[in-house]
């Protein structure tokens, strides 16, 4: 089995074609270049997930369905402990 933790928002979201790329180090999309940051956040999360045999999944957030803006859902999926 697996355990999933997720965080969602109703911000501008990440286009589907860029979701794999934004997990790489120092990648910032054009619409975020005016905001502070270095493009390391999601790459660090991805490295932690990999170190723990997990994975990071990006998809549409709740705003995509509620009309607030596309939003983003970041899911951290880890293997469940065996008993």
Q: Which fold has domain 2-79?
A: Heat Shock Protein 90 (3.30.565)
Render pLDDT for 2-53 as a digit per residue (tens, 0 to 9): 999 999 887 888 888 999 999 999 888 877 777 788 888 899 999 999 999 9
Q: Where are the domains of the chain?
A: 2-79
User: pTM value?
Assistant: 0.77
Would you place residue 69 in the very low, low, confident or very high pLDDT band (cuts 50, 70, 90)?
Answer: low
Range 28-47 burial, b when 16+ CB lie within 10 A, else e: eeeeeeeeeeeeeebbebbe
């Amino acid at each position: 089995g697996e355990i999933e933790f997720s965080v969602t928002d109703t911000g501008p979201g990440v286009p589907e074609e860029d979701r794999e790329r934004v997990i790489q180090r120092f990648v910032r999309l054009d619409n975020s270049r005016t905001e502070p940051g270095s493009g390391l956040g999601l790459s660090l999360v991805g490295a932690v997930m990999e170190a723990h045999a997990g994975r990071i999944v990006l998809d549409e957030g709740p705003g995509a369905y509620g009309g607030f803006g596309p939003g983003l859902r970041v899911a951290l999926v880890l293997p469940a402990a065996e008993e």
